Amino acid sequence: MSHLKRLLSPSFWRTPRKESKWVVTPHPGPHKKFSSVPLSIILKSFLKLGDTTSEAKKIIRSGEIFVDGKRRKDYAYPAGLFDVISVPLTKMNYRLVSSKKGLDLLEIDQKEANQKIFNIKDKTMMRENKMQLNLHDGKNITVDKASYKTGDSLLLELPSLKILDHLPFEKGAMVMITKGSDSGKIGKVKSTIRGRMRET
């Protein structure tokens, strides 16, 4: 199904409720449906790069939009947390970040557009002492070290995914809340408690 009833769409998509009955729904991809924003909506509702959805689709299909350094021509591609949206023609770059209402766009400079923070969701041991790290947006990287833990974050270069920095989830670490009533707030870890959390 390529369309969703507009009344069911998340408020942070910024789609006027009475404009029409349907709105584009994200295609299956690296982020969950209601934790992402279709590219066409980002162009039309966030960046105002098209007066209509048709105009936004035309821009995307022409190959003018990049996500995490890669050209994306799918108008319903699901962009999500920390993804970098680049528009080379305007020399503008943006990052999707958490806000109180959901996701919002933050304008960033070119240097920052070449970097992205990834949260480690899971890891798998492989042959020859290699480890595969499964990241929050569906990407995977293979590393030699076994020091990376689930819950840690990595600063990676885009689009090569070269590791620039390791950010352990530990006391004193800076964190951003990404869900709930405090979404978007930034703070420091006071303590960590071992256990299992179920993602919703």
Tell me the per-residue pLDDT of 74-133, one tens digit each, with 9 for 90 and over: 999 999 999 999 999 899 999 999 988 889 999 999 999 999 999 999 998 888 888 999
Three-class DSSP labels, 75-135: CCCEEECCCEEEECCCCEEEEEEEECCEEEEEEECHHHHCEEEEEEEEEEECHHHCEEEEE
Answer whether residue 197 shows pLDDT above 60. no
Counting beta carbons within 10 angstroms of the beta carbon of residue 135, is it exposed (0 to 12), middle (13 to 18) or buried (19 or more)?
buried
Contact present, 103 and 96 (Cβ < 8 Å): yes
Least confident of 9-13, 40-44, 124-128, 163-167: 9-13
Using the Cα atoms of residue 6, residue 12, residue 16 and residue 17 in order, give the sign of their dihedral: positive
What is the Cα–Cα distance from 142 to 126, expressed in whole angstroms?
Answer: 9
CA count, 13 A, side-chain hemisphere, 165 = 7
Contact 173, 195 (CB under 8 A): no
- The residue with greater pLDDT, 189 or 113, is 113
CA distance 129 to 103: 38
How many angstroms separate the CA atoms of 114 and 99, rounded? 22
pTM reported for the whole predicted model: 0.83
pLDDT at 198 over 60: no
- Mean pLDDT calculated for residue range 48-64: 93
Peptide bond before residue 159 is cis, with ω within 30 degrees of 0? yes
